[in-house]
Amino acid sequence: MTDDGMLMNFEIGDAPLLPKQKFQGGRWKDRLAAKRIVEKRISKPSNPSTRELFKENRHTVAVEDYIGPSTESRAPKRQRVDSETGRNVDTAKFISGKLPPGSINIGGPKRSVPIQEETRPAFVSGKLPPGSIKIGGPSRSVTIPEETRPAFVSGKLPPGSIKIGGNRSTTFPEETRSAFVSGKLPLGSIESRGNASQGFTNGGHQTESGKPNQIISSLFSFNPSAKTKFEEPEEEVEPAKPSNAPLTEEMETFTALGLSRRLAAHLSTKLDMKAPTAIQKAAIPEMIKDDSDAFIQAETGSGKTLAYLLPIVERILAMSSDDVKVHRDSGLFAIVLTPTRELCKQIASVLEKLLRCAPWIVGTTVIGGESKQSEKARLRKGVNILIATPGRLADHLDNTEVLKVNTVRWLVLDEGDRLMELGFEDEIKGIVEKIGRRPVSAVRDRINGLDTKALPSRRVTILCSATMKMNVQRLGEISLKDAVHIQADPSDIEATRNDTDGVEVDEKAFSAPAQLKQAYAVVPAKLRLVTLTAILKRAFARRGSVMKAIVFISCADSVDFHFSLFSRPWEVSEEDEENAAEAPPLTKTDLTKDTIAHGTAFSSKTNPVVLCKLHGSLAQNIRTATLKAFTESAEPCVMVCTDVASRGLDMPNVDYVIEYDPPFSAEDHLHRVGRTARAGKDGRALIFLLPGEEEEYVSILASGYKDGKKALTHHTAEDLLRKGFGGTGREWEDRATEWQLEVERWSQDSPKYLEMARRGFQSHIRAYATHVANERHIFNMQTLHLGHLAKAFALRDKPGSIKVPGLRPAKMTKADRSVAARKAKRGEVEEKAPEGERVRKQRKLDLDLPSLNDSAAKRMKQKMKEHMAVASEFNIG
């Protein structure tokens, strides 16, 4: 990394510069020697014309050239030597951190300088006024008093100044110091672009006095820029027609697919479903007539749930005759397994609505986190269709005698690939073995007087997902036999899209709904948090433009942090205080008191937005209540969540999905964005990518999109910040900076929030290490700039010094401690206390992911180690 912020340039005007001589190759010692010889020649040029030229340019030479590695005109340094120590006085001060009165550290870990009002235009325009010098990056400058200029040029320091960095020095008024410490600017200074209210930071870094480990880096400096030149769509792309909408009644009806009039009429009158979707059209007849195992695969939001539930209910209904009806004691006929508890409840709710036309058929759930006793009681009463999470079902199969599975004819593995991904393979194997495949003769038996001919002649397994990861193959091996692959007929999709002009329908296996508008934003790490805030501000600025948005975040700790940050108390200005009573009340219950709040960071009292959080570490009843509140909210609402909400959930009116942290695999991306643009509705999705390697992800996005790159929109952080923070000119920069500093102070001022931020940061990095192997070159831990990333967690810590309490060794007992002390006394190496099982479990939960595998953990450790050891922007000086 370059010496961030240590480059200072004089405005050089139009005068010609001396040619720069570069020294490359060979040993560094040789290069240095060669450089010195050239320097000597230049400082005492033998050729008079060169001498003249040098003289001319003496005050206009770029300091970068002047002090940089290929210096042409380095003036002799004044050596101020301490008579006692023999050390250079300024260096000693610099190292000791003891500053003379009236000065302030700059150039080392503690650097700052006040900015005069007249410098502001220079910041904004990038054009420097006469008498100023550029510091840091291309966009930062500071006016140096005329008398300081010779010191810069000659390296001779005026009295009262201190040396910084190399040959650079300046003096600072005393009042700046307090401004620096308090964060409040003295009159006459302006907020620099990098660090509003903290004074200008040389190089974008400064340390708060008295808090030696804190670094306040500037938001808008040293951000890497995108390496790809993204092509913008030349003209407005015509919005694509929906690809997952229901068919029209003229095209198809439920009765034509083989459903009874009772069921079809119920769908039409009570559920407002007049015609099937394309996947329902393909799956229903197949599952009614045929007893093959099947893999149902179709886009998100295309109605897969009903595609398998309808034929099951139809066939169970068909067992009844005029004399005998199926009832809850007739036996368990179908089991549906789902990876998450939320999805389980959702499917149960769809089933419950469906069964209102046949209330004698009973469905129920067994779900991890719920009361086993009440589940047992329901099972005892009898159930025909059971929706379950695998762990809890396996538990009941082992321990609940009343649960009989000999009549089971369907085993549906909804989101089968996710089931495998979450490591449910053993449970599924056990369940499949227990259910067994009934021989045909047994199936032909009559159950409680019912004719079982309507049921499949053997146990059928149905796999269902929008995507098929490699692990589904393994799942197929465990559970499927001669399965058929059921997909929507492309001509049906074409017909729903009503494309008369012969638009080609992509037959690619996995793709996002065609009408979904996808965008990507290349946002440098430091700007991530402010950019997300800007996007949410903008999205909810006009009431009604966005109703519900979901923000996907990689891990539970980070969700907690962002939820707290976005719901800080409203800042009450004088005006607000008057109408504080108008702040709308939130409907919260005991369960949702910590998971629902106002999104104060991106809404106002007059136009409030509700904020919810959801992740796997929350208690099940809290998860359920929060999801219900989000789903049913009539107010604009944002949910920050982990992937626990990415699969299968059908939440009405979600019109915006933001992938703040990129998904762990391309399949996960399709599921996440699939929470919007469902059943033919419109939707928007935006993914955050870091400049650099992550830009490559754009081609993966394009490959999952029907119209390829053409319809993908590219945003820059600047675009989004300008729109979100508003103002005239570059006012958005100041506003964003101010907001960032405010949240940094918020986290610094409270041990609780500081710990939250640190946990979020650390878990985020751990999660980053778990991207699938074939995408790891894109999400590369080695290129992740942890320092910049810390800023997006409102942290001022050096990344290496961030300790996460969750990773601490378990508490030692008194006895442990005395054993350890005895060992230490004997000179034996003290063993680290073992990490508690509880902590480990908690971590697994926190990530909503399986435990980090060895290589992921190794990659993360390596990265942290590097950051603690390698010179980075955090240990300059």
Stretch that binds ligand ATP, among 43-51, 137-145, 276-284, 628-636 (CB under 6 A): 276-284
Site for ligand ATP in 449-478 (CB under 6 A): 466
Range in contact with ligand ATP (rule: CB under 6 A) among 271-279, 614-622, 760-768, 801-809: 271-279
Q: How far is the CB of 273 from ligand ATP (least distance, A)?
A: 4
Contacts with ligand ATP: how many residues (CB under 6 A)?
A: 19
* C-alpha separations of 324 from 219, 280, 449 in Å: 73, 30, 7
Q: From the CB of 304, what's the least distance to ligand ATP, in Å?
A: 4
Among 342, 650, 667, 846, binds ligand ATP (CB under 6 A): 650
CB of residue 375 vs ligand ATP: minimum separation in angstroms? 24
Transcribe 643-706 into DSSP letters. GGGTSS---TTEEEEEESS--SSHHHHHHHHTTSS-TT--EEEEEEE-SSGGGGHHHHHHHTST
* 674 in contact with ligand ATP (CB under 6 A): yes
Within residues 333-392, the interface with ligand ATP by CB under 6 A covers none
C-alpha span between 562 and 564 (Å, rounded): 5
Question: By CB under 6 A, is residue 304 in contact with ligand ATP?
Answer: yes
Distance CA 167, CA 39 (A): 15
Nearest Cα to Cα of residue 257 among 305, 298, 306, 200: 306
Of 302 and 595, CB closest to ligand ATP = 302
Q: Judged by CB under 6 A, which stretch of 73-81, 83-91, 302-310, 402-410 contacts ligand ATP?
A: 302-310
CB of 461 to ligand ATP, least distance (A): 18
Nearer to ligand ATP, 276 or 787 (CB): 276
Among 195, 305, 631, 716, binds ligand ATP (CB under 6 A): 305
310: contact with ligand ATP by CB under 6 A:
no
Binding mask 594-633 for ligand ATP (x = CB under 6 A): ----------------------------------------
Q: Give the integer Cα–Cα distance in Å for 461 and 141.
A: 69
Among 132, 171, 297, 300, binds ligand ATP (CB under 6 A): 300
State how far Cα 369 lies from the chain centre.
Answer: 27
As a whole number of angstroms, the distance between CA 472 and CA 478 comes to: 10
- Three-state secondary structure of 292-350: CCEEEECCCCCCHHHHHHHHHHHHHHCCCCCCCCCCHHHCCCEEEECCCHHHHHHHHHH
CB of 349 to ligand ATP, least distance (A): 10
Nearest-angstrom CA–CA distance, 8 and 62? 8
242 near ligand ATP, judged by CB under 6 A: no
Least distance to ligand ATP, CB of residue 348, Å = 13
Closer to ligand ATP by CB, 303 or 339: give it. Answer: 303
CB of 496 to ligand ATP, least distance (A): 11
For ligand ATP, which is the closer residue by CB, 151 or 388? 388
Long-range contacts of 457-461 (CB under 8 A, 24+ apart): 457/291, 458/291, 458/409, 459/408, 459/409, 459/410, 459/411, 459/435, 460/287, 460/291, 460/292, 460/293, 460/294, 460/409, 460/410, 460/411, 461/293, 461/410, 461/411, 461/412, 461/413, 461/432
Q: Is 277 in the site for ligand ATP (CB under 6 A)?
A: yes
The alpha carbon dihedral of 335, 339, 344, 350 has a sign of negative
**Contact yes or no for 216/795 (Cβ under 8 A):** no
| C-alpha span between 605 and 603 (Å, rounded) | 7
Answer yes or no whether residue 246 interacts with ligand ATP by CB under 6 A.
yes
Choosing from 613, 678, 714, 791, the residue that interacts with ligand ATP (CB under 6 A) is 678
- Residue placing its CB nearer to ligand ATP in the complex, 416 or 787: 416
CB of 683 to ligand ATP, least distance (A): 12
Interface ranges with ligand ATP (CB under 6 A):
246, 273, 276-277, 280, 298, 300-306, 466, 648, 650, 674, 678-679
